[in-house]
Amino acid sequence: MYQIDDNQETEPQRDFIFTDINALQAVRFRHFMKDCNAVQGDPGELKVLLEQEYQAVAASSEAARQTVEATEIIRLSVEDQRLFAESIINPPEPNAALRRAFEKHRELFGTEWPRLSASPP
């Protein structure tokens, strides 16, 4: 357990950081300050622990960012971007395989897909 005195000009403030469940369980809230003082750790140790936690979070965050970038972001050339946009703006007519897939879906689920074009699939 660590205490941080952060006295403001207008009001005193003290933060308590419990890094161990046993220390928290040892505190009787009727005797809060006395019990906290009995289990208090070295403030220099707290700085080391906080720096380690910060580094762990930063490394984890960077790893998560790299994972998302590697798996979720698709990089397209300028020509591929143009082709993608063109297919969204002016989609081609469904081919025979897609029409069969629509029909199979209707048979299995009894529902209609939204129309992809003016003509029925």
Instruction: Give the model confidence (pLDDT) of 22-76 as tens digits.
Output: 777 777 767 777 777 777 777 788 788 888 888 888 898 988 888 888 888 888 9
33, part of any domain: no
| In a domain? residue 69 | no
In a domain, 89, yes or no: yes
Question: Phi and psi for 14 in degrees, rounded to 5?
Answer: -135, 125
Residue 11: pLDDT band (50, 70, 90) is: low
Please give the tally of structural domains in the chain. Answer: 1
State the Cα–Cα distance between residues 92 and 25, nearest whole angstrom.
67
Q: Is 95 a domain residue? A: yes
> What is the SS3 assignment for 64?
helix
Global pTM reads 0.36
Q: Does residue 2 lie in a domain region?
A: no
Does residue 53 lie in a domain region? no
pLDDT over threshold 50, residue 121: no
Residue 64 lies in a domain: no
The domain in which residue 102 lies consists of: 78-109
User: For residue 112, which amino acid is it?
Assistant: E
Please check whether residue 91 lies inside any domain of the structure: yes
